[in-house]
Amino acid sequence: MSSGIPIGEIASRTLRALEGEGYEAAVLVEAEKSLMIKLARGEISVTQSWNSLRTHVYVAKNKRMGVYTSTSPEPWRDLLESARLLSFAEESPLYAPLPEPTGASLSRVDEKIVEAVDTGDASFVIEDLELDNVGDAAGMVLLEHNVKHLVTSAGADLSHESTRFNGYLRVFRGSASGQWSWTSTVYEPATAKRAIGQAIELAEECAKLPRTKIEGGEYRILLGPMVAGNLLGEVVEAASAGMVLFGMSFLHSAKVGERVASEKLTIEDRPRDTSLPNFRGFDDEGVATQDKPIIERGEFKGFLHNSKTARVMKASSTGNAGWLIPTAFNIHVGAGDLKSTDILEALYDGVYITNNWYTRFQNYLEGEFSTVSRDAVIIVKRGEPAGCVERIRIADKLPRILSNIEDLSRDRWPIQWWEVRLPTLTPFVLIARARLSVAGP
Amino acid sequence: MRASAWDYDETVLERIVAEMQSAGASYAEARLHLLETTAITIMNGAVVNIGRERRWGAAYRAIADGGLGFASETLHIEGKPTVDAGKRAVAAARTSARLVRSKVSLGPARLGRATYQVVPRRPFEDVSLDEKIALLKGIAGEFLVERGSFRVQSIVLVYREMVEEKLLVTSDGALVRSRIPRVSIFYNVAAKSDRGRANRWFMIGGSGGLEVVEAEKLRSHLSSDVESLYVNLVKAEASPKGVMDVVVSPEIAGIMAHEASGHPSEADRILGREAAQAGMSFRTTYKGRLIGSRYVTVIDDPTIPGSYGFYLYDDEGVAARPRILYKNGELNEMLHNRETAAIYGVESNGAARAMDYRSEPIIRMSNTYIAPGDHKFDELIEDVRMGIYISKYMEWNIDDIRWGQRYGALEAYLILNGRIEKPVRGAVLEGTTRELFSSVDAVSRDLKFYSGTCGKGEPPQGVPVWMGGPYMRLRGVRVR
């Protein structure tokens, strides 16, 4: 993809250079071309285009570890110099030898995306998504082509190629707004238009409904997929063994099989789902990725590990490296029983929160957090929308939210945006009781 | 010798800018941007990683047919910036022009032709990596303490030393070369007692060298934070709730200055350019100018020596200066780049910053603070009959127009009859920007700064900032 040295050769030469000085190493070379159209007030505010080649290495010697990155065209020079920093380090308590490679290359690309980022022309997106027709709106559309090559001292020699079609739109109708997002490996205008349609519908609905106010207190709440993606993404992050070791996980003492959520909830890491753009056949250590539950019918199924956290916590790698911190790839939240047509009826009397941001933990270890709503927040009375409110917060504990899940929708939405960094296929989530607070008039 | 922006031949960029103009750009800009970081991560007294990252690449912006385009590249073709990448910015601008009703233009500005650098008092090299590691480990180890049921479970400490170099050339004459070293220490302390668990994260940062993170400063912050966790988890009793007087520390004043004054004063937000990401601003529709009491003056100043958000020219080449965002309780200046300045018919005040070569310059804060007054801290307390003093926060958040906000206390104390009494836990100060700033009836003569990384943009950009202020007394505000 780059017009210089092929990335497989960059990876091999870098590995050889590092091994030549006695380092154990993993080398991941990433070439990326992408285009992003950014909208504001119904116009394109900027179009951005990236073309990059980055080489990341993990090196170890005498159980000392380091992770280094270079953007140079012949990165082995830089990286060898960086690796020499290891002589100042000491044995890392996290060290484990690089594992035998079990992963296999896995690729899926959409040629339309590849061509667009190669030529730098994404103007077809404007017509396909009818962006000139949505009125007052802000958001972005991203097209990305990514090629990776991994080699390790343990023998991995693996490649990966993928594309991404991701975006979100926040639509304004007067002082009301609605936002929705989409993500996919392939260019599917219909998926994007369905999401944009949701954003328009929410904005128009709130523009029609009376503005109302609520008091802080405990409510039945319905989380739209954008909110569910954000909060359940925090749960997945807390399931990373690295976050446990770093003292930042409310799941720190969870045991496999322990009930941590309502039995309605299942969350899986699905790296092998090639319809979501973070699919991978191998992790950063070359271990085969695997689809796996994190929470299954409310029971905790285990932490996400790389070989290092696995050694410290006496477990096995789950194929989720991250050289230092294990990470999920694609998240699936299991569907529930609620038909989309019945969902407000199921909420009956409560608050439907369609989007949120600024999720902050007051206490990581106890999962105590608050998050701020934005866009449409719909008050539902007797199963019908009765008004819209602004500026509310969910201020509660994640374990309590998880336990209070009453049901989820059958329909699921592929979400990825600012506040949902991993591609997440999620339904609506109905919570029987959650604490809301309101910040002033 | 390794290439850097500090000594790069500017004629290479000038040629690319000229080619971009030949390709149809009415404005063209090229920036070489290097960010070199070395990081040491220590967990519970042991080194878990020594990392180094060298982000080195070029960024280009163009205006063509009234649209704005941005392109960036790593220098992976012969290690040099390319005309092709510059032309991609022009093509991107033409894509933008397909859906533009009001054409982008840049206002006049005081453009620099300048070279500047921050010279550290104690260069990074003055202390070997060995010594740095030994020092950091030693200090972190001192605070893995137990007191009764209270135990510090983990301390993760990340030391970073960075050098940022930029060379900027624009088609209308800016030529700015800069070199700014920065250093920071971030830490997270997790603790527990038989009453629960809590954590505290904190960052010390500034521009310059090792003088920013002297050992005694780190030791003193860690000591104070471990004590705060102890107080919260062992000694504190439930906070009173309701409407009361609240005295806040410079740490809380700083985060309020940043979140409730700085962000809503960003002109791109006010115009809706960040509406789907970092959000909007109450200033878009706000009626009148009054936002607080006459004791509230908020300043954003990139020129403070040694500050984490220091710069003298922004990433459009405009000379930096202090900006008074709120003046004696009234809305005042906005933060501008050249595009928003043109829309408002003013001159840019130099607030365009880009995180790295992959980032377009957008409007950002630098060092934002509430101006100090003339009270002593004790004087703020002695006039409170019943209220609380909030010293440190654990968590905060604010809505996307920067109006409703909350600050959850890590360390707070009951104030009774003008005296600080017992510690309390669970206090959350909540209110709107106008409520909170209007309730300020006195500010102290102190001014302290705190470091942070401010996020904005798409893809998200984190830039170093300071936030600060004095002790402030707020009358009759809500504590939940």
Q: How far is CA B153 from the centre of its chain?
A: 29
pTM: 0.94
Q: Using CB atoms, which residue from B92, B153, B403 is nearest to A120? A: B92
Inform me whether the pLDDT recorded for A130 exceeds 70.
yes
Q: How far is A337 from chain B (nearest CA, A)?
A: 32
Chain A residues inside the 8 Å CB shell of B395: 360-363, 369-370
Residue A390 backbone phi and psi in degrees, to 5: -125, 160
Q: How far is B41 from chain A (nearest CA, A)?
A: 10
Q: How far is B320 from chain A (nearest CA, A)?
A: 24
Which of B 419-458 lie inside 8 A of A, CB atoms?
Answer: 428, 430-432, 435, 458
**Mean pLDDT value across chain B:** 95
- Burial of residue B7 (number of CB atoms within 10 Å: 0-12, 13-18, 19+): exposed
B166 touches chain A (CB under 8 A): no
Inform me whether the pLDDT recorded for B212 exceeds 90.
yes
pLDDT digits (tens, 9 = 90+) for B81-130: 999 999 999 999 999 999 998 999 999 999 999 999 999 999 999 999 98
Chain B residues inside the 8 Å CB shell of A94: 43, 48-49
8 Å CB contact of A47 and B92 = yes
Chain B residues inside the 8 Å CB shell of A66: 49-52
Q: A9: which residues sit within 8 A by CB, 6+ positions away?
A: none
- The alpha carbon dihedral of A30, A34, A40, A42 has a sign of negative
Chain B residues inside the 8 Å CB shell of A374: 279, 399-400
What residues form DSSP beta bridges with B147?
Answer: B150
8 Å CB contact of A246 and B154 = yes
Q: How far apart are CA B105 and CA B88, in angstroms?
A: 19
8 Å CB contact of B358 and A94 = no
Q: B373: which residues sit within 8 A by CB, 6+ positions away?
A: B295, B442, B443, B444, B445, B470
Measuring CA to CA, how many Å separate A303 from each of A284, A293, B368?
A: 17, 10, 40
Which one of B82, B99, B104 would you mutate to disrupt binding with A, by most A Cβ within 10 Å of its Cβ? B99
Collapsing DSSP to helix, strand or coil, B325 comes out as: strand
8 Å CB contact of A247 and B79 = no
Inform me whether the pLDDT recorded for A2 exceeds 60.
no
8 Å CB contact of B95 and A69 = no
Which of A83, A346, A257 is closest to B52 using CA atoms? Answer: A83
Inform me whether the pLDDT recorded for A136 exceeds 60.
yes
Q: How far is B445 from chain A (nearest CA, A)?
A: 30
Are B105 and B342 in contact by the 8 Å Cβ rule? The answer is yes
- Structure-model confidence comparison of residues A439 and B47, the more confident one: B47
Q: How far is A257 from chain B (nearest CA, A)?
A: 23
8 Å CB contact of B52 and A69 = yes
B70 touches chain A (CB under 8 A): yes
Q: How far is B305 from chain A (nearest CA, A)?
A: 30
Inform me whether the pLDDT recorded for B400 exceeds 90.
no
What residues form DSSP beta bridges with B456?
Answer: B461
Chain B residues inside the 8 Å CB shell of A67: 49, 51
pLDDT for residue A3: 53
Average pLDDT for A73-100: 91
Measuring CA to CA, how many Å separate A215 from each of A348, A379, A440, B75, B239?
A: 18, 12, 10, 56, 21
Q: Using CB atoms, which residue from A85, A216, A369 is nearest to B129? A: A85
8 Å CB contact of B92 and A90 = no
Inform me whether the pLDDT recorded for B435 exceeds 70.
yes
Which one of A1, A37, A45 would you mutate to disrupt binding with B, by most B Cβ within 10 Å of its Cβ? A45
8 Å CB contact of B399 and A72 = no
Chain B residues inside the 8 Å CB shell of A247: 153-154, 156, 188-190, 199
Burial annotation B126-147 (CB, 10 A radius, 16+ → b, else e): eeebeebbebbbebbeebeeee
Q: Using CB atoms, which residue from A43, A172, A246 is nearest to B99? A: A43
Instruction: List the single residue in A with minimal CA-CA distance to B67.
Output: A46
Domain ranges of chain B: 10-35+53-112, 117-236, 242-479
Q: How far is B303 from chain A (nearest CA, A)?
A: 29
Are B211 and B223 in contact by the 8 Å Cβ rule? The answer is no
Q: How far apart are CA B250 and CA B255, in angstroms?
A: 9
**Residue A267 burial (CB count, 10 A):** 24
Inform me whether the pLDDT recorded for A47 exceeds 90.
yes
pLDDT for residue A311: 97
pLDDT for residue A364: 86
Quickly state the pLDDT bin for A5 (edges 50, 70, 90).
confident
Rg (CA), chain A: 23
Supply the DSSP string of B442-459, one letter for each residue: EEBS--EEEEEEEEETTT
Inform me whether the pLDDT recorded for B395 exceeds 90.
no
Are B125 and B110 in contact by the 8 Å Cβ rule? The answer is no
Collapsing DSSP to helix, strand or coil, B70 comes out as: strand
The first and second tokens of residue B438, run together, are: 């209007």
∠ CA B13-B18-B23, nearest 5°, is 125
Average pLDDT for B410-435: 96
8 Å CB contact of B192 and A365 = yes
Q: How far apart are CA B166 and CA B31, in angstroms?
A: 7
8 Å CB contact of A71 and B54 = yes
Quickly state the pLDDT bin for B394 (edges 50, 70, 90).
confident
8 Å CB contact of A47 and B95 = yes
**Residue B241 burial (CB count, 10 A):** 12
**Which amino acid, one-letter code, is at B313?**
Y
- Burial of residue A78 (number of CB atoms within 10 Å: 0-12, 13-18, 19+): buried
Quickly state the pLDDT bin for A209 (edges 50, 70, 90).
very high
Q: Using CB atoms, which residue from A42, A72, A89 is nearest to B47? A: A89
Q: Using CB atoms, which residue from B74, B95, B189 is nearest to A71? A: B74
**Residue B385 burial (CB count, 10 A):** 10
Q: How far apart are CA B143 and CA B136, in angstroms?
A: 11
User: How many residues in chain A?
Assistant: 441
Burial annotation B69-79 (CB, 10 A radius, 16+ → b, else e): bbbbbbbbbee
pLDDT for residue A440: 56
Q: How far apart are CA A225 and CA A180, in angstroms?
A: 8
The first and second tokens of residue B122, run together, are: 């104690």
Q: Using CB atoms, which residue from B77, B99, B198 is nearest to A131? A: B99
Are A216 and A437 in contact by the 8 Å Cβ rule? The answer is yes
**Residue B382 burial (CB count, 10 A):** 12
B130 touches chain A (CB under 8 A): yes
8 Å CB contact of A45 and B133 = no
Say what percent of chain B tops pLDDT 70.
100
Residue A226 backbone phi and psi in degrees, to 5: -65, -40
Are A341 and A374 in contact by the 8 Å Cβ rule? The answer is no
Q: How far is B459 from chain A (nearest CA, A)?
A: 8
B103 φψ region: left (φ > 0), alpha (ψ -120 to 50), beta (else): beta
Tell me B320's DSSP state.
Answer: P
pLDDT for residue B1: 52
A291 φψ region: left (φ > 0), alpha (ψ -120 to 50), beta (else): beta
pLDDT for residue B155: 94
**Which amino acid, one-letter code, is at B13?**
L
User: Residues spanned by CATH 3.30.2290.10 within chain A?
Assistant: 7-205
- Burial of residue B289 (number of CB atoms within 10 Å: 0-12, 13-18, 19+): exposed
Q: Using CB atoms, which residue from A50, A364, A440 is nearest to B358? A: A50
Chain A residues inside the 8 Å CB shell of B404: 372, 391, 393, 438-440
Q: How far apart are CA B342 and CA B63, in angstroms?
A: 14
CATH class in words for A7-205: alpha beta
Residue B266 backbone phi and psi in degrees, to 5: -75, 120
**First and final CA of chain B: distance in angstroms?**
59
**Residue B238 burial (CB count, 10 A):** 9
Chain B residues inside the 8 Å CB shell of A137: 276
Burial annotation B156-174 (CB, 10 A radius, 16+ → b, else e): bbbbbbbbbbbbbbbbbeb
**Residue A342 burial (CB count, 10 A):** 13
The first and second tokens of residue B19, run together, are: 């080619």
8 Å CB contact of A364 and B190 = yes
